[in-house]
Chains A and B, each alone.
Chain A
Amino acid sequence: MHELTITQNILNVALEHARGAGAKKVGRINLVIGEMTGIVSESVQFYFNFIKEGTLAEEASLFFNIVPARFRCRACGTPFELKTDTSCPHCKASDMEVLSGRELFVESIEVD
Chain B
Amino acid sequence: MEIKVLKNILGANEQIAVQNHQLLNSKGIFAVNIMSSPGAGKTSLIVETIKALKGRARIGVIEGDVAGSVDAERVDKEQVPVIQINTGGQCHLDANMVRNALENLPLKDIDILFIENVGNLICTADFALGEHKKIVISSVPEGDDKPIKYPMIFHTADAVVINKIDLIPYVKYDLQAFLKGVRALNKSAEIFQVSCTTGWGVEEWACWLLNQKTAGKSPF
Contact = CB atoms under 8 A, between A and B. Distances in A.
Partners in one complex: yes
Given A10-B9, A106-B5, A111-B1, A98 B91 contact: no
Nearest to B145: A84
B186 to A, nearest CB: 10
Interface string B1-23: 11111111111110000000000
B9 A13 contact: yes
A109 B91 contact: no
Interface in B145-198: 147-148, 151-152, 155, 180-181, 183-185, 187
Interface residues of A, number: 38
A104 B126 contact: yes
A2 B5 CA distance: 22
Contacts of B8: 104-105
A13 B5 contact: yes
B87 to A, nearest CB: 10
Please tell me the size bucket of the interface on B: 20 to 34
A17 B2 CA distance: 11
Contacts of A112: 1
A12 B11 CA distance: 11
A2 B6 contact: no
Contacts of B13: 9
Given A12-B12, A85-B148, A107 B91 contact: no
B181 A1 contact: no
Contact of B9 (A1, A94, A96, A105): A105
B180 A6 contact: no
Nearest to A18: B3
10 contacts: A2-B92, A13-B7, A14-B5, A17-B5, A23-B3, A31-B9, A38-B122, A86-B185, A107-B6, A110-B2
Interface of A: 1-2, 5-6, 9-10, 12-14, 17-18, 21, 23, 31, 36-38, 69, 82, 84-87, 94-96, 98, 101-102, 104-112
By Cβ-Cβ distance, the 6 closest A-B pairs, closest first, are A86-B184, A94-B184, A1-B91, A38-B122, A106-B5, A36-B152
